Amino acid sequence: MSRLLLASIVMLAIFDIGLVVFGLVTRQFSYALAGGGFLAVLALLYLTVSRVDADETEEDDAN
Domain segments of the chain as ranges = 3-58
Position 59 scores a pLDDT of 61
Position 25 scores a pLDDT of 94
Q: At what angle do helices 29-62 and 3-25 cross, to 10 degrees?
A: 160
Task: Find all residues with CB under 8 Å of 22, minimum gap 6, and list them.
Answer: 28, 31, 32, 35
The answer to whether the beta carbons of residues 22 and 31 sit under 8 Å apart is yes
Tens digit of pLDDT per residue, the chain (63 long)? 678 888 888 888 899 899 899 999 999 889 889 888 999 999 888 888 887 776 666 666 666
Position 49 scores a pLDDT of 84
The answer to whether the beta carbons of residues 10 and 18 sit under 8 Å apart is no
Position 48 scores a pLDDT of 86
Alpha helices in 1-63 (DSSP H): 3-25, 29-62
